[in-house]
């Protein structure tokens, strides 16, 4: 085993597949990976990189605690949990928007506290604090779109990618909170102690993303 192998936490699923395609182009492919079944750990033949597939929302935890040297996490997770990691580059995949959504044409009444349902309580608090708007946060874990339909909340703050989930539930985006995409992150100690390997991987990825290789 090489001492400078870079351990990388990748999100399982569609986003991970897109990210892996970029890593492969950058020269960090694993021949056994496509169709690798349920295996969770893969290493490149030259030992330059080792991949762990984890739940997307767990990537930042692996990297922050040093179980992985690097990882790829959505900007939503980085804004929500503010892990103590370096953000090195924007992968440009997994693009979507964090939006306030509700019944189409809903007008805000600033005289009453706004009830907001979301999985992203920090992002939501920060957004409304910036507007100076009083809110009552309702933390949910999924199927957020149901909350305004059932009168549990006035609006939701959630991720909108294609907009299909909103449309199929009679809701619409009312305001944009921020842009989201997948980011390459690094553990702070690994960035120092494996600097050459981390920098090479980052530079090669950047070259692929900029179309230089």
Minimum Å gap between C-beta 198 and ligand PRP is 29
Sheet with strand 41-43: strands edge to edge: 41-43, 49-54, 6-11, 70-74, 182-186, 86-90
Q: Which residue's CB is nearer to ligand PRP, number 157 or number 201?
A: 157
Subset of residues 156 to 175 that bind ligand PRP, contact rule: CB under 6 A: 158-165
Q: d(Cα 213, Cα 206) in Å, to the nearest integer?
A: 9
Largest CA distance in the chain: 63
Q: Which residue's CB is nearer to ligand PRP, number 9 or number 160?
A: 160
Q: Which residue's CB is nearer to ligand PRP, number 28 or number 120?
A: 120
CA angle at 64 for the pair 61 and 66, rounded to the nearest 5°: 105
Minimum Å gap between C-beta 190 and ligand PRP is 28
Task: For residue 5, give the DSSP letter.
Answer: P
Dihedral angle computed from the Cα positions of residues 10, 15, 16 and 20, in that order, rounded to the nearest 10 degrees: -110
Q: Which residue's CB is nearer to ligand PRP, number 33 or number 171?
A: 171
Q: Which residue's CB is nearer to ligand PRP, number 136 or number 161?
A: 161
Minimum Å gap between C-beta 117 and ligand PRP is 11
* Total site size for ligand PRP, rule CB under 6 A: 10
Question: Which of helix, strand or coil describes residue 20?
Answer: helix
Minimum Å gap between C-beta 73 and ligand PRP is 14
Task: For residue 196, give the DSSP letter.
Answer: H
Subset of residues 35 to 74 that bind ligand PRP, contact rule: CB under 6 A: none
Subset of residues 103 to 162 that bind ligand PRP, contact rule: CB under 6 A: 142, 144, 158-162
Minimum Å gap between C-beta 53 and ligand PRP is 17
Minimum Å gap between C-beta 118 and ligand PRP is 9
Phi first, then psi: give them for residue 98, nearest 5 degrees. -90, 125
Q: Which residues contact 24 (CB under 8 A, 6 or more apart)?
A: none
Q: Which residue's CB is nearer to ligand PRP, number 42 or number 120?
A: 120
Q: d(Cα 160, Cα 78) in Å, to the nearest integer?
A: 17
Which residues in this chain contact ligand PRP in the complex, by CB under 6 A? 142, 144, 158-165
């Amino acid at each position: 085993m090489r001492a400078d192998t870079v351990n990388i936490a990748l999100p399982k699923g569609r986003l991970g597949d897109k990210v892996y395609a970029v890593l492969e182009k950058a020269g960090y492919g694993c021949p056994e990976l496509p169709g690798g079944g349920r295996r969770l750990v893969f290493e490149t033949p030259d030992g330059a990189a080792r991949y762990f597939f984890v739940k997307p929302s767990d990537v930042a935890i692996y990297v922050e605690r040093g179980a992985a040297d690097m990882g790829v996490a959505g900007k939503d997770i980085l804004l929500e949990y503010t892990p103590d990691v370096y953000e090195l580059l924007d992968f440009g995949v997994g693009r979507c928007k964090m939006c306030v959504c509700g019944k189409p044409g809903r007008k805000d009444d600033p005289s009453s506290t706004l009830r907001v349902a979301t999985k992203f309580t920090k992002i939501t608090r920060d957004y409304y604090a910036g507007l100076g708007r009083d809110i009552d946060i309702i933390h949910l874990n999924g199927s957020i779109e149901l909350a305004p339909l059932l009168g549990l909340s006035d609006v939701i703050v959630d991720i909108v990618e294609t907009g299909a989930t909103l449309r199929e539930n009679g809701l619409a985006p009312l305001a944009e909170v921020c842009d989201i995409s997948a980011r390459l992150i690094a553990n702070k100690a690994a960035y120092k102690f494996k600097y050459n390997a981390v920098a090479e991987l980052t530079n090669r990825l950047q070259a692929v993303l900029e179309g230089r290789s």
